[in-house]
Structures are given as C-alpha cells and as structure tokens.
Chains A and B, each alone.
Chain A
Amino acid sequence: MTLAAPIRVAVQALAALTLGFLVLPILAVVPASVNPLSHLRIPPPGVSTRWYREFFRDPEWLTSLGNSVRVALLTTALALVLGVLAALGLERLGGRLRQVFTGLVLAPLIVPVIMTSVALYYVGQRAGLVGTTLGMAAGHTLMALPFVVLNVGVSLHGLDPMLPRAAEGLGASPWHAFRTVTLPLILPGVVGGAVFAFITSFDEIVISIFLAGVGAKTLPVKMWEVIRVEITPVAAVASTLFVALTVVLFWVVRRVGARSDAPEGAPAR
C-alpha cells in the first residue's frame, strides 16, 4: 500500500514526535550532566566534567554506587538460580497447575510495589535484614524473579524436549544433560533474564527506600535523598550512568540473541 505524500509525511512526523517523547527526557540527563554551572540548565552553556569529578570524589555517592552493584549482582545470582529452576519446573507441570504457579511467580509484577515493600519492611525488620545487602537483594530478587522465569520460560518452550532425553539415552546423567544440552540452548533466555534482573535491582527505588536503612543505601535511594534537598547536576551524572549501563546491557542481550538466531545455530527441522 502506498500512501499519498502528505499523509506519509504526517505519519512520519507523528512517529518522530512519539520517539522524541519517549527518548528525549531520558537523554536530557546527558547534556545536563556536563553542565559547568552549579544548577541544572538545558541546553548547557558549555561542556565540563566538573560534576563527574564531584560524583567520583564524594565517598557517599561512591558507596551508594558500590552498594547498588553488590546488591544487583547478588540479586542477579539469586534470581537466576531460583528463576531457572522455577522455569524448568513450570515447563514440566501440566495444564492448570502450571497456570496457577505461573500466576504466583508473576504476582510481584501485579501486586502494588508499595504493598510488597511494607510487607518486606515488616518482615525484614524482625529478621534484622533491613539495612543489609542480603535483605536488599532478597527484596529485589522478588521483583527480578518474574523476568527470569518469563525469559527462560520462552527459551525452554522452544526447546525440543527430545534433546535432553536423547542425551540421557546416550549415557548422560540428568545434570550432565542439562549442562551440555539444555543450558547452552536456553542461554539467550538466561542472559536476557540476568540482564533484566540486574537492571530491575539496579534502578529499584520503592523497596529500596524501605529496606535501605543506613547500611545499604543504593544509588537510586541516594539520588532521591539528594534531589529532595536540592536539584544538583550530580544527580544528572548518576542518571547518565544509569542510561549508559542500560544501553550496554541491552546491547549484550542483543548480541547473545542474535548469535542464537543465526542460521547455523537454529534447531533442526
């Protein structure tokens, strides 16, 4: 179908506007972060690394960045182990049971986060987990788990169930068959799930505010605290780091996904 020229221009303009609406607010933090002035201004009157130096010199910002990375890595590890096991189990369950358990696993996506946070705070305080890396990671794992289960589930669904069977018939133990056949074939889902888990944890704020205490303040919590007092360009620096990290991680997912989509890696039949 070919559209008349004016309509085509209008459609393209609308698409460009939508894209701008989606992306510009996110990208706006980049020029804001190189701003040499002591307050935010877009566009910046010049380019300076002043606020980057500020960020990397301030032990509080660095500590919160370190906390965030530690919590996100621990969350990713926990969510991967639990999520892959859950996805394997769900794939084996039949019919109604699978639906019920899938619903339970996905519940953290649907239940309002504030409710989850209050509940976690309540339990976490009694268990002495508030303000600890472990407590924070446990809370984040709850939010990250659905992404791992969904991503790995999609990969598992596309896996021929005869493959692990064939491996066992050739003498492999179930664990060996999983390691050498199932895992390499669901790797794109596992990597995708890991990236989602990492990002979910890295930019989680609601649960984090409740569980941070003084000992486990993550980068978003620190940003929130700072911005409440004054709108400083250092927050724009932190935001820019977020954007950069997200872009890099999604590039990784694309790479892994593209490799397994390549014709030589495609499943038989």
Chain B
Amino acid sequence: MIRFVGVGKHFGAVEAVRPTDLTVAQGEFFTLLGPSGSGKTTLLNVTAGYVAPSDGRVFIGDADVTDLPPRRRNVGMVFQSYALFPHLDVFENVAYGLRVRRLPTPDIRRRVAEALATLQLNGLGDRRIAQLSGGQQQRVALARALVIEPAVLLMDEPLGALDRQLRKQVQLELRHLHQRMGRTTLYVTHDQEEALVLSDRIGVMRAGRLEQVGTARELYERPASAFVAGFLGESNLLAGQVTHLDGDRAALRVPGWPAPIRGVAAPGLRVGAKATALVRPEHVRLGAEVPDAPEATEARVEEVVYLGDLVALRLLAPGPATLWCRRFARDGAPAGDTVKTGFGLEDVRILPD
C-alpha cells in the first residue's frame, strides 16, 4: 500500500506537484497518466525516495518513509532507460539487490534463476546487457526490481523505448505478471492505451494536480473535465454556454446549432458559465439513427476513412465544428454530401471549463 498525505513538491518557484492525497491499495496496479511536465514522474520519484517532497508525508504500508533514503524503502524501480549495469552480465544485474542484502550464495542463485524464469529469460544469465534486445533488457530491468521482493513496484514509462509491436506484447505480459504476483504497483505513462490495458485505477495528472482518479471505465464514461476526456480515448468537444441546469441534466448553447445541446451534467457547472459538450465518436448518430430532438442538425461529410473494422467520418457541423464519427464498417457510411446528425441524451456529457 502507498499513501500520499498532502504530498507536494516545488522546485524553486515551479510547483511540480501540488499537495496531493492518494492511496494506492495493497495489490493494486495504479497508473499516473499525464503529459510530460504534469508531475507524474516527480510523484514517482518522491515515492522511490529520489526526490524529497516539499510538503506532506509518504507512507509505504504502515511506515512513514518520507525521510528514508531510497535504499531503506524496499521499493523496486524500473527506469525508463532501464539503467541496467553495463559492466555486469544479466545474472549479476538481477543479483545486485540480493548481494547488497548479503544473502547466502545458494539463495541468490535460486532466486535469480526464479526471476529469470518468471520473465522468460532462462539461459540468458551470462549475456552482457549490450547483447540483449530492447525487450529483453526491459525484462531484465523488471527481474532486477522484482527479485528483491519489494513492498511496491515503481515503473517510469518502462515501455517507452520499445517499438509499437513489442509494446503491445509486453503490456499483456506485464498485466499477466501483475495478476499472478499481485504486487502493489505505481506506474507512470503518457500512453493512454498502456493505462487502459494495465491499470486497476488511473490517476490523470495535469500541471501538478491529480485531475481525476478512477477506473478506466469511470474515466472514459464520466470524465470530470475536457482534459481528462481528451487524454483517454477520442473525443468531440463543443464549446458553449450553459443555458439550463437541473440535477444531473444540463443544456449547452453552442453557436450555430438549432437548439441547446442537452446532456448529462458533470459536477461544477453553473448556468451562464462557459462549458464543453463531450461526445465520443462512437456516439455520434447519423441519418435514421438520430433521435427526434430539437438540436439535431445537418452536417457535411468532409471525409470518410476506412479503418478495416471501422469507418471514421469527418463531419463539418454548425459552429463550424469538426465532429468525428466512428461506426462499424459493416453498418456502412451514409451516401450523400450532407447527413442528419445528432446524439442520444445519455451520450452527451457537459463538462465545466
């Protein structure tokens, strides 16, 4: 378990992480997702002990580790660059943390062999690091971190250096590994797909702040802000002004549209304030599917992109605003230059700016 209580960090006048509360449960795979400079790596380094927080306390399990150096925290860290020791072979890289702990040699042999087997590195023990492929190096880094049986596993964009094909494969391996070992994991990435595939919960970070914390589904279906919506999945965003607010229902006047767009209200809306309507591309309805609603409008079909299983249509809606619509290829794309366009009431989410 990892617990942050009011943890913040500033470098001079720059606030890298604003005071943050967060608890990562025992055995949970938690991902900090955000663009570069959002403070996610700083928060990870605060957990590892490489960066001292300016405010707050950090707990691992029940222990307050805020003032402990990295070596006393019993964390396993996987670095973006792997940081494998180039002068040692694979076996000695993995054994490093065990040798530091002065384990008896037979125990070291057994545990390293187990770790290598777990990560399918059997037989590579005497290889030099430079002789390994990127994917193998990544697994050695993971083996080195796991073999010390850390209280928490920390990973800083560990797949960033791999090519796309390999990344997909390693994502699944990481997921299976976590399912098998159940080690509390804090994972940092800017890649939404990694976050979706791997995480029990995701924290989206923006400018040093945890913007929203939730499961992938919660974040995708009920984003708290346009930023979160934009970071997870594709989204159409229409800017306007709130004309109506009643419980979890709201309406947004968007220039050029025949009537205010109605949808589900996110917390924090006020009548008269600026807001954004979010519609996922798979929820944009066309032609006969459009419900009978005053805000339905005509849009011009600008482009049709065939993606195999899906087709993506780029529509020019009033505003003028670009709307992306995704539909199954077998449902076909409407013929003609213009098409009737609208949304289901439950598919629109009105977000505060």
Contacts and interface: CB of A to CB of B under 8 A. Distances in A.
Interface stretch (A19-27, A65-73, A108-116, A168-176): A168-176
Interface residues of A, number: 24
Contact of A268 (B74, B82, B148): B82
Which residue, of A160, A170, A268, has the highest number of chain B Cβ atoms within 10 A?
A170
Contacts of B257: none
Contact of B86 (A172, A180, A268): A268
A46 interface: no
A267 B81 CA distance: 11
A contact face: mostly helix, strand, loop, or mixed? helix
Contact of B83 (A162, A172, A264, A265): A162
A264 B128 contact: yes
Contacts of B48: 169
**CB-based closest 9 A-B pairs:** A170-B97, A162-B83, A166-B83, A264-B128, A171-B100, A267-B86, A169-B77, A169-B70, A266-B130
B86 A265 contact: yes
24 contacts: A163-B83, A167-B85, A167-B100, A169-B48, A169-B49, A169-B50, A169-B71, A170-B71, A170-B97, A171-B74, A172-B100, A180-B96, A181-B85, A185-B86, A185-B87, A263-B130, A264-B128, A264-B131, A265-B87, A265-B128, A265-B130, A267-B86, A268-B84, A269-B82
Q: How large is the interface on B (under 10, 10 to 19, 20 to 34, 35 or more residues)?
A: 20 to 34
Given A165-B50, A185-B86, A265-B86, A171 B71 contact: yes
Interface in B133-150: 137, 144, 148
Contacts of A103: none
Interface string B254-280: 000000000000000000000000000
B17 to A, nearest CB: 19
Interface of A: 160, 162-163, 165-173, 176, 180-181, 184-185, 263-269
Contacts of B77: 166, 169
A172 to B, nearest CB: 5
Given A170-B96, A171-B71, 19 more contacts: A160-B81, A165-B50, A165-B83, A166-B77, A166-B85, A167-B96, A169-B77, A170-B100, A171-B100, A176-B100, A185-B86, A264-B128, A264-B131, A265-B130, A266-B86, A266-B130, A267-B130, A268-B86, A269-B161
A238 to B, nearest CB: 40
Contacts of A181: 85, 87
B90 to A, nearest CB: 12
Contacts of B130: 263-268
A174 to B, nearest CB: 9
A266 B131 CA distance: 9
Contacts of B76: 169
B148 A160 contact: no
A171 B137 CA distance: 21
B110 interface: no
Nearest to B84: A268
A172 B101 CA distance: 8
Nearest to B131: A264
A244 B51 CA distance: 52
B79 A171 contact: no
A168 B86 contact: no
A263 B207 CA distance: 42
B125 to A, nearest CB: 14
B81 A269 contact: yes
Interface in B50-87: 50, 69-71, 74-77, 79, 81-87
Contacts of B137: 268
B129 interface: yes
B1 to A, nearest CB: 19
Nearest to B89: A264
A165 B81 CA distance: 12
Given A163-B85, A168-B70, A268 B129 contact: yes
